[in-house]
């Protein structure tokens, strides 16, 4: 009898020890409240909400698991304020219409090997090509131009670029191409202006707004900045890349504009996010977000209720749709501005100025086989705007 009691006592202690020594875990319940599918949805978790875990683990020891499969998911820590301490933990998941999913965040002192993703969000300054700044994900790529390129252009020498417009690089592969294309162009003489099977840069910007450049609409004209003056990289993939471009103080027909663009791009998105940080905004009549109309041979479409505008055009033997999505509540008017002067025709969303103004810009290229154009990409923009208006409902249970 004593032996049985001892065994029961031993098992009880063992069970109690197992329960009390189990590593802490935080549960996430996440709900899609839309009746539409959401793919590549990025979930942001403020590390301040994970204090229970961070009492025992440092942020780099945190893991995210799918609550159903128990699979460890790719995640990323982001230091938003540059103090060398992470502020956010992000990961991605797909959601069916009205689906609720469960995830676990836990700590582990053991190294868990997660395969490197084939695709990644990525950005870098490109000093070997004067001073470009380029960014990409698995769907799209972009670049814009720095102060040295401006100085060369203004001196009248060849090779410079004077533009604050955003250039589109049309890729049709999911893996990164920025480093490869620059290297092939500069070191091997294989131009990225020609398609060698992965896509190409055949999108002309000039002084236009490209896809997502800004300006101030005043007296029937668009005043614009010149090239960015400095840059800062904040986070660099694999899920999200964030950087800032500082355009300094510039003159908009007698009005001073202090412009910084904080740009981010997430894996799986055809649009980058831009938050304008504006000084002297209270002096401005508006901020205009623009898309170039190139040769004006395409079709404009605006959904003023949901806040998206796009320009579809035949493009070098294919088709291209460029677009902007913005909160419709801040848009004062949409302007289809067409002039004879080359590179000065733009489709504009003229917005109320503010110290911070956020919008999204990007494109779809027919040869990438991502969308039927223009209708398929129009549907994407419609759903994208719905997702912005109805973010995922995230419940944290600790």
Tokens of 372: 């039927």
Closest by CA to 121, choosing from 144, 94, 92, 163, is 92
The count of C-alpha atoms lying within 13 angstroms of the C-alpha of 11, restricted to the half-sphere facing its C-beta, is 6
What is the C-alpha separation between 184 and 187, in angstroms, rounded? 6
Buried b (16+ CB within 10 A) or exposed e, 246-263: ebeebebeeeebebbbbb
What contacts 4, CB < 8 A, 6 or more positions away? none
Please name every residue paired with 325 in a beta bridge, in sequence order, or none if there are none.
Answer: 308, 360
What is the C-alpha separation between 99 and 142, in angstroms, rounded? 33
pLDDT for res 16: 42
pLDDT for res 110: 85
Closest by CA to 52, choosing from 42, 62, 60, 44, is 62
pLDDT for res 23: 60
pLDDT for res 114: 84
Mean pLDDT by 10 residues, the chain (398 residues): 46 43 81 97 96 93 95 96 95 98 94 84 97 98 98 94 97 97 96 97 96 96 97 97 98 94 98 96 96 97 97 97 98 97 97 97 98 97 97 92
Number of other residues whose CB lies within 10 A of the CB of residue 353: 19
Q: What is the pTM of this model?
A: 0.93
Angle, CA 30 vertex, CA 47 and CA 51 arms, to 5°: 20
Element (H, E) at 311: strand 308-315
pLDDT for res 22: 55
Query: Does a cis peptide bond (omega within 30 degrees of 0) precede residue 238?
Result: yes
Domains of the chain: 24-109 (2.60.40.1180), 122-389 (2.70.98)
Burial of 95: CB neighbours in 10 Å, binned 0-12, 13-18, 19+: buried
Element (H, E) at 7: helix 2-21
């Amino acid at each position: 009898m004593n032996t049985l009691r001892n065994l029961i006592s031993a098992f009880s202690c063992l069970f109690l020890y197992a329960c009390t020594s189990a590593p802490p875990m935080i549960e996430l319940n996440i709900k899609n409240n839309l009746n539409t599918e959401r793919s590549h949805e990025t979930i942001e978790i403020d590390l301040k909400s994970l204090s229970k875990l961070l009492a025992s683990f440092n942020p780099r020891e945190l893991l995210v698991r799918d609550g159903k499969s128990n699979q460890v998911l790719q995640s990323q820590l982001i230091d938003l304020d540059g103090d060398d301490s992470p502020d956010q933990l992000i990961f991605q998941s797909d959601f069916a219409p009205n689906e609720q999913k469960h995830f676990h965040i836990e700590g582990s002192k053991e190294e868990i090997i997660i395969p490197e993703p084939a695709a990644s969000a990525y950005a870098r300054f490109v000093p070997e090509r004067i001073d470009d700044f380029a960014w990409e994900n698995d769907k799209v790529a972009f670049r814009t131009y720095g102060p040295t390129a401006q100085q060369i252009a203004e001196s009248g020498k060849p090779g410079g670029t004077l533009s604050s417009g955003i250039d589109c690089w049309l890729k049709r592969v999911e893996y990164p191409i920025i480093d490869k294309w620059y290297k092939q162009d500069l070191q091997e003489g294989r131009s990225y202006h020609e398609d060698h099977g992965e896509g190409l840069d055949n999108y002309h910007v000039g002084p236009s707004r490209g896809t997502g450049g800004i300006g101030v609409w005043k007296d029937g004209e668009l005043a614009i900045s010149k090239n960015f003056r400095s840059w800062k990289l904040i986070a660099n993939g694999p899920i999200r890349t964030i950087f800032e471009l500082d355009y300094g103080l510039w003159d908009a027909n007698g009005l001073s504009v202090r412009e910084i663009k904080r740009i981010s791009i997430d894996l799986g998105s055809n649009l980058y996010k831009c938050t304008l940080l504006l000084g002297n905004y209270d002096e401005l009549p508006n901020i205009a977000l623009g898309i170039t109309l190139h040769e004006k041979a395409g079709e404009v479409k605006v959904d003023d209720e949901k806040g998206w505008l796009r320009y579809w055009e035949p493009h070098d033997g294919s088709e291209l749709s460029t677009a902007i999505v913005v909160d419709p509540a801040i848009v004062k008017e949409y302007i289809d501005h067409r002039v004879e002067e080359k590179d000065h025709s733009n489709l504009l969303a003229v917005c109320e100025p503010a110290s911070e103004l956020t919008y999204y810009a990007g494109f779809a290229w027919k040869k990438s086989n991502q969308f039927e154009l223009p209708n398929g990409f129009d549907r994407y923009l419609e759903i994208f705007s719905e997702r912005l208006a109805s973010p995922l409902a995230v419940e944290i249970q600790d």
